[in-house]
A = this chain, B = another copy of it.
């Protein structure tokens, strides 16, 4: 099965890193914001795309989920993603599992700890034409990050232009 390259997780992690040291983000102006200011509903029910561990300062483990439109595009390996595609990246602290390690008899198991942030890429090619057709979103405790915080998203995702600005591969 072929995969194709995708870009949410890496940027997610970069933005997450920034999030840990940034001032608490406030709500943006939804009318003019060139990014996502409302959490897409129902994302926790979406299907799994892949998981990743970002080591080092980020110290994150998470999952990328996709809504039906995004998952269909992933599976059919069709680029660009059609309008209506939404990709969610759920991030958590990367923590050892004491109970798993007890069963294993050694320290080896790492699992999601406290949630850190949830990020979205929302495809709406006209609305978000200036950022590759994707609206980027970053939420901590349900609150959207502000404009300054969101500024680096697209410049980084541009590195994955060949895969419609998306980093994460679909795990078979």
Q: A residues bordering B, Cβ < 8 Å?
A: 5, 9-11, 13-14, 44-48, 50-56, 58, 61-63, 65, 90, 92, 94, 97, 99-100, 102-104, 106, 108-112, 115, 156, 159-160, 167-169, 171-172
Contacts and interface: CB of A to CB of B under 8 A. Distances in A.
Contact of A52 (B9, B111, B159, B169): B111
A160 B92 CA distance: 24
A54 B108 contact: yes
A171 B5 CA distance: 26
A171 B47 contact: no
Indicate how many identical chains form the complex: 2
The A contact surface, by secondary structure, is mixed
Contacts of A102: 159
A112 B169 CA distance: 9
A108 B52 contact: no
A61 B53 contact: yes
Given A9-B109, A111-B9, A51 B61 contact: yes
